[in-house]
Chains A and B, each alone.
Chain A
Amino acid sequence: MSRLKTLFDALRQKKIKALIPFITAGDPQPDFTVTLMHAMVTAGASIIELGVPFSDPMADGPVIQAADERALLHHVSLLDVIEMVKQFRRDDVQTPVVLMGYLNPIEILGYQRFAELASAAGIDGVLIVDMPPEEAEEFTALMTQNSINTIFLISPTTSAKRIEKICQFASGYLYYVSLKGVTGANTLDVDSVARKLTEIRSITDLPVGVGFGIKDGETAQAVSRVADAVVVGSALVKKMAKYQNDQDLMNQKVSGILREMRSMMDAVSEN
């Protein structure tokens, strides 16, 4: 059974929600990433989404764009990111790791080679932002053969018909983008998120994570009332940028946000 399935089954039993931090691999420096991944797990992360830096991150706002640029200053490649997960797995065989990024680095490496390397490194899932299900058939089949889940986005503009189509290709969990726009955008309307999640759940049993607009304990708590998982990215990456010159402080600040989110989310499930 996949690590993602094991995790979501266990969390469901315990009636708590998953907390999924996103960081860009190699930001601010390549050798900071694995240490930070472990620190995030200690602080309460259930799954880690690791961004693969790309020169043209079209779906990302300024905060994640800057993170990609910092990582690319060190020429962090897809192969480097896979290597980081391999290193992470030496001390953590439990926490699922999902790579998130754009298609071109995988196209250039080759789907087959990527599937083999990712699987061997202990990568559990892949979310390719610019690959909708219409273009995902060959890729999804290869990932499935190599026991890697393929996570897809659902947005406020996704119709019920499309949700069905997406669910034919999705595994692990679904990622609901809570608002129109790019990562790091502002307000989040929990009621409209709840309505969309009801629609999604009428179509699939897959766990649904919600991201975009979650920045603190309060928003994480609100979303965790309705979602199976809470994804936080830009709020963490902002802190990483601010404390990029002091690794210990950076790890503390990021862990601090996650701890607050974790405890407020767990307070809900105890009610």
Chain B
Amino acid sequence: MSTVSTEYIQDYYSYPDQRGHFGKFGGLFVAETLMGPLQELREAYEKYAQDADFLREYDADLKHFVGRPSPVYFAERLTSKIGGAQIWLKREDLNHTGAHKVNNTVGQALLAKRMGKTRIIAETGAGQHGVASATVAARMGLECVVYMGAEDIKRQTANVYRMKLLGATVVPVTSGSKTLKDALNEAMRDWVTNIDDTFYIIGTVAGPHPYPAMVRDFQSIIGREARSQMLEAAGKLPNALVACVGGGSNAIGLFHEFLNDRDIELYGVEGGGDGIESGRHAAPLSAGVPGVLHGNRTYLMTDKDGQIIETHCISAGLDYPGVGPEHAWLKETGRAIYTSITDKEALVAFHELTRMEGIIPALESSHAIAYATRLARDKSPDEIILVNLSGRGDKDIHTVAELEGITV
């Protein structure tokens, strides 16, 4: 179980500190060449986060380009089948490009333009963040280069083609395990070489300060909308929030608005792969240790020598050996509970939601659905569980079909 800090957190919104620390997590662990550009980014972000014009443009893009607000939806048939608490969904799957990722890329691309950068780079695992980055680059007329592990390129051909249609260059990464973490390494190497004209859009709440705070802020629209929508639709706030956690951006996006509402339970669901006990999973908060990777101190999947371990998870979006530092800190302080769901359980939930509600969820989000149904059984029907349905499952139908021996 998690170690709960004895220190009482008065205000969860007073974090991170000036240097990006959430307690002992977060920070700025990068090579010297990146310190200047990160300071430039921090200053620009602090300025524009208060700038009325910038915020107006961001809100307008969220409304007219992304299609926000995304609705909350009562999953009535699923709820009655489970027979416990009500299961509600925050429909991030209905966003343009099919997931929550675009909330962040719109914000960072607007910032890139304000900073006079003409080229954006991004890393991607499943391709969702790559597509969301390529999309805003096309919309704003910026050059876009996406780094993607050679293994992931093979698994996600449709998204690779989508990015190319949008005008992006997709660079296969063949170093290390050829997956998301290596794509991130390669994007960092590009950035350090091209810092004068390039803006690096990190897709999750990890990386060096200010990325974890900045991406969180751009994603926290999810929770802000959810609060007023739940009050309007259900007449009260949810009792529990559930979201899947890879790097953790959709989870923080939902949780952040509710951090100081201490009676609302927060559950983050990691990719359990073949099961925690098998060692083949992607669950650093459930089974990892604190360490330093990709610019911040956080929970990691690392061996006894400090080398990063290869992760295993059916969904590429959860297949990452680290996690955002704010999640590490929410675990440490006991504010959120982190758990995991296996590939098999996620697949069951994938089918269940599809058949019961007519919504095909992303495999990532299926992990959250699976945990929510388990949680609902132990709660009473007047309680509400709000699940972040972070993305749609169109991108995953080939994976699911293949597992079932079907050629699509």
Contact = CB atoms under 8 A, between A and B. Distances in A.
Contacts of B182: 56
Interface stretch (B24-32, B136-144, B162-170, B350-358): B24-32
Contacts of A57: 185
Interface string A88-125: 00000000000000111111110000000000000000
Contacts of B35: 132, 155, 157-158, 162
> Max chain B CB contacts within 10 Å: which of A55, A132, A159?
A55
Given A58-B189, A104-B292, A182-B189, A153 B31 contact: yes
Given A104-B306, A105-B306, A56 B27 contact: no
A158 B36 CA distance: 6
Given A108-B306, A180-B192, A129 B292 contact: no
Contacts of B36: 155, 157-159, 162
A22 interface: no
Contact of B300 (A60, A104, A158): A104
A109 B304 CA distance: 8
Chain B CB within 10 A, most for which of A102, A157, A162: A157
Interface string A173-185: 0000100111001
Interface residues of B, number: 38
Most buried by A among B181, B182, B289, B293: B293
A78 B304 CA distance: 10
Main secondary structure of the interface of B (DSSP, over half): mixed
B305 interface: yes
Given A157-B195, A182-B192, A75 B305 contact: yes
A157 B29 contact: no
B80 interface: no
Contact of A130 (B189, B194, B195, B295): B295
B244 to A, nearest CB: 24
A79 B304 CA distance: 11
A106 B302 CA distance: 12
A157 B40 CA distance: 11
Contacts of A56: 176, 181-182, 185, 293-294, 308
Given A104-B308, A130-B31, 6 more contacts: A59-B33, A108-B289, A108-B306, A155-B35, A157-B195, A185-B193
22 contacts: A54-B307, A56-B176, A56-B182, A58-B31, A58-B185, A69-B176, A77-B304, A107-B290, A108-B291, A130-B31, A130-B292, A134-B28, A135-B27, A152-B32, A153-B33, A154-B32, A157-B33, A157-B36, A158-B32, A158-B36, A180-B192, A181-B33
**What 4 A-B pairs come out closest when comparing CB atoms?**
A105-B306, A157-B36, A108-B306, A77-B305
Interface of B: 19, 27-33, 35-37, 175-176, 181-182, 185, 188-189, 192-196, 289-295, 297, 300, 302, 304-308
